[in-house]
C-alpha cells in the first residue's frame, strides 16, 4: 500500500477560502460546490504512471461550515464533504484512501474546518483488507475504534463508508472492525445520507429582511 501520511501544515483551498491543512506528501483540495455523492460507480482515474487523486470524505460541523462547499447531511446537522488529494502513486486507491483517514494526525483542517472523526482512533485502528462483491466494497479494519458521542459515530461510519465506495468505484460499502459490522459495533441504523446542501459563498452579505408572519425580537 502506498498511502501518504500527514505530518505538518501545507495548504488547502476550501471554496473561496484558503486555509492551512496538515498532509505531508498529500495536500487535499476540496473542490468548490462539488457534490459529495460518492460511490457513483466511476473509479478514480489513474495516470499511465500510476498516479491517482484519492477521494476522501471529511465532515463540516454544524455552525462552522466552510463557504461555497457542497455536502450532504450526515446526522446532527453536519455535512459530509468530499475532497480529493493531489495525485499520489498507488496500486490500491481503497487501501491508500482509508489508510490516509486512519493515519491523519489532525482532527480539523482549515478555518472554517473540515474534520476527521477518525483522528482519535489513529493509534488503535488499522486497515486490514478489502474486496469487491458485486456493487459493494467490503472493508475490513482491525483494532480499536474510538467514538466519543453518537454524532461522532455517525460521522465515522459515513467517512469510512463513502471513502471506501468512492475509491472502489462502487455505490455501496460494508465496513467491519475485527469482523463486526460497524453498524452493530456503534449501534447505528443503516446509512442514509440527507439532502445535498451548498453553503453560501464567503462574500455573501446577511439580509435584514424579516420573513412575513415572523416578528422581530429585540433585547
Q: Give mean pLDDT, residues 29-45.
A: 47
Residue 112, preceding peptide bond in cis (omega within 30° of 0): yes
pLDDT tens, residue by residue, 147-160:
999 999 999 999 99
The answer to the question of residue 181 being in a domain is: yes
3-class secondary-structure state, position 72:
strand
| Cβ atoms within 10 Å of 192's Cβ, excluding its own | 8
The answer to the question of residue 75 being in a domain is: yes
pLDDT tens, residue by residue, 133-184:
999 999 999 999 999 999 999 999 999 999 999 999 999 999 999 999 999 9
Inform me whether the pLDDT recorded for 96 exceeds 70.
Answer: yes
What pTM did the predictor assign? Answer: 0.77
* Of residues 81 and 31, more confidently modeled: 81
Q: Looking at residue 101, what is its pLDDT?
A: 96
Apex 116 CA angle, 110 and 121, nearest 5: 140
Domain span holding position 129? 12-186
Report helix angle 150-168 to 93-103, nearest 10: 150
Number of domains in the chain: 1
- pLDDT band for position 19 (50/70/90)? very low
The answer to the question of residue 116 being in a domain is: yes
The answer to the question of residue 178 being in a domain is: yes
* Of residues 63 and 171, more confidently modeled: 171
Asked whether 85 and 143 are in contact (CB, 8 A), the reply is no
The answer to the question of residue 106 being in a domain is: yes
The answer to the question of residue 135 being in a domain is: yes
* Of residues 208 and 100, more confidently modeled: 100
Inform me whether the pLDDT recorded for 6 exceeds 50.
Answer: no
Amino acid at each position: 500500500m502506498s498511502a501518504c501520511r500527514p505530518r505538518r501544515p501545507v495548504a488547502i483551498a476550501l471554496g473561496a477560502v484558503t486555509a492551512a491543512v496538515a498532509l505531508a506528501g498529500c495536500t487535499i483540495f476540496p473542490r468548490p460546490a462539488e457534490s459529495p455523492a460518492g460511490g457513483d460507480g466511476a473509479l478514480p482515474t489513474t495516470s499511465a504512471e500510476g498516479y491517482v487523486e484519492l477521494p476522501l470524505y471529511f465532515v463540516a460541523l454544524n455552525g462552522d461550515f466552510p463557504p461555497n462547499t457542497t455536502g450532504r447531511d450526515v446526522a446532527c446537522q453536519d455535512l459530509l464533504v468530499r475532497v480529493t488529494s493531489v495525485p499520489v502513486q498507488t496500486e490500491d486507491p481503497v487501501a491508500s484512501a482509508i489508510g490516509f483517514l486512519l493515519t491523519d494526525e489532525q482532527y480539523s483542517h482549515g478555518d472554517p474546518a473540515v474534520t476527521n472523526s477518525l483522528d482519535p482512533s489513529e493509534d488503535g485502528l488499522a486497515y486490514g483488507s478489502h474486496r469487491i462483491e458485486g456493487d459493494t466494497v467490503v472493508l475490513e479494519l482491525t483494532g480499536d475504534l474510538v467514538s466519543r458521542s453518537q454524532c461522532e459515530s455517525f460521522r465515522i461510519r459515513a467517512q469510512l463508508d463513502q471513502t471506501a465506495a468512492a475509491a472502489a468505484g462502487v455505490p455501496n460499502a460494508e465496513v467491519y472492525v475485527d469482523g463486526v459490522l460497524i453498524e452493530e459495533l456503534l449501534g447505528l441504523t443503516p446509512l442514509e445520507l440527507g439532502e445535498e446542501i451548498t453553503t453560501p459563498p464567503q462574500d455573501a452579505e446577511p439580509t435584514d429582511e424579516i420573513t412575513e408572519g415572523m416578528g422581530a425580537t429585540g433585547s
